[in-house]
Copies of this chain bind each other. A is one copy, B any other.
Amino acid sequence: MDPKSVALIGISRRSGPGSFNLMETMCDFGYSGEIYPVNPSAGEILGKKAFPDVTAVKKEIDLAVITTPRETTLKILQDCVAANIKAAIVVNQGFNDADHLGRQMHRQMVEMAAGDGIRILGPNTLGIINSFAGFTTSFMPVTRQRVGIGLICQSGIHFVGPNNFSGMIGKGIDLGNSCDIGLYDALKYFADDPDIQVIAVHMEGLNQINDFLTLAARVVKEKPMVVHKGGRSDTGAKAAMSHTGSLAGDYKLIQAAMKQAGITFLEESGQMPYAVKTQHHLPPMRGNRVAVITFSGAAGIIIIDGLERHGLQLAALSPETIDQVAALSPGWMPLSNPLDIWPAVMKHGAGKVYSLALEAVLNDPNVDGIVCVAIAPLPEFSFLNVAEALNEVVENSPREKPVIGWTYGPNSTEVQTQFESKNRIMVYPTLELATWALTWLRDRCKIMMRHDEI
């Protein structure tokens, strides 16, 4: 994923918005290696001499990226073999996602990869992103961010960014229709990659699934893995066959096998960015006992509902913790968990009371994890904004208990960014997701502690 020289075969003379010129997106992303554009009808492309075909380059080429129509692909792959190129990415679609002819060409690519010493990624792929090395083959613009998250997917949508996933991909591999490189190969790459700490997978088909699962069971001890699988329904599975030409398999079986391997297996695609950031930034939760600190009684109750649903429980706070908060609360206020601190806040101010409560539960031996419910006020009510105060407490405590946030109010986007600014508190859009996050961290702890080798 860090080639020094690339041949771009079928690259357009057009550039600028709407041209989807890969050479341009590649350079914009930061690639500084050799580029050999191949286009028989162009003399030069973006200032570089163009070659009529790849065998005319006569230089060492680490990777060929092929974006020509499907009819030409096999001949070009043969040229690549002749030019001693060991790796190719086939971007175009129209193979086993399409008609009889497409499936036939797909089989020929499978045979070439098996016999002719060339590895093929795709077809039907945006290829790879490597933010660390500044290399991408995506013709859609992607943000470059050196985060320790490796993404394996079967669709370009995950490169472009489903909502909050943008900017969360340190390295990405889009397997497309997987005529050669599959789930196991991609996982092996990230398993051995010191830049990558968390591995996210969006899969549809089950290419190399047995090897993938065996390797995953080892990988998860060191690197958390989060998987979502499309095609769980019968109709969805059929659609997956026409999308990437892959067999979707029995969903319940896959789900059980993934969980057994120690993977965070998501039932909803919308949870992906939250599960990934949770595993990337928060410590595992060592037990089931959760403390809730809240400005709002109603939010506390919804969290309790979520905890019970997931087999977590409200921590029985130690008398020391209760006493510390009680000292700031009105005498009539019954205090337990959730710690409803609003009456104390009205008397002593938000920052002081919340900091004290958070410090108390962080030190409380009866507590394994913490949910903080706070208000996201407009700037003129910033005295109610506890983002800075809470981060100060968390930064001065060991990274032993996860601290989860949820905010309500008119300024959520800005305040949530403040909460997450130190990567020590993660915030979620709903109370339900906040409790899900704790379950992922509890499961993470169980995986890290299991002794049996699989």
Contacts and interface: CB of A to CB of B under 8 A. Distances in A.
A408 B297 contact: no
A291 to B, nearest CB: 14
Given A333-B94, A432-B268, A157 B299 contact: yes
A333 B98 contact: yes
A17 interface: yes
B334 A99 contact: yes
Q: Interface centre among A232, A235, A305, by most B CB within 10 Å?
A: A305
A236 B304 contact: yes
A222 interface: no
A301 B408 contact: no
A190 to B, nearest CB: 20
Interface in A297-352: 297-302, 304-305, 307-309, 313-314, 330, 332-334, 336, 338, 340, 343, 346
A378 B299 CA distance: 36
Q: Interface centre among A18, A239, A346, by most B CB within 10 Å?
A: A239
Contacts of A383: 17-18
A202 interface: yes
A232 B310 CA distance: 13
A166 interface: yes
Contacts of A283: none
Given A162-B408, A236-B308, A270-B431, A243 B332 contact: no
Given A70-B332, A98-B334, A243-B301, A430 B270 contact: yes
| Chain A interface residue bracket vs B | 35 or more
A234 B301 CA distance: 10
Contact of A298 (B157, B233, B308, B338): B157
Interface string A140-183: 01010000000001111110111100110000000000000000
Interface string A409-427: 1101000000000000000
A102 B242 CA distance: 66
A436 to B, nearest CB: 11
A269 interface: yes
Nearest to A413: B413
A338 B238 CA distance: 11
A230 interface: yes
A353 B362 CA distance: 56
Given A233-B304, A239-B338, A432 B166 contact: no
A336 to B, nearest CB: 8
Q: Interface centre among A204, A234, A242, by most B CB within 10 Å?
A: A242
A192 interface: no
Interface string A277-306: 000000000000000000011111110110
B141 A378 contact: yes
A298 B380 contact: no
Given A161-B408, A166-B409, A410-B161, A298 B232 contact: no
A244 B296 CA distance: 11
Given A155-B298, A300-B243, A408-B163, A233 B381 contact: no
19 contacts: A70-B332, A93-B343, A94-B333, A94-B343, A101-B332, A141-B381, A154-B298, A156-B296, A160-B410, A163-B408, A163-B430, A231-B305, A232-B305, A235-B307, A235-B314, A236-B304, A269-B430, A270-B431, A270-B433
Given A156-B296, A166-B409, 8 more contacts: A18-B381, A97-B334, A99-B334, A161-B409, A233-B308, A270-B430, A270-B431, A270-B433
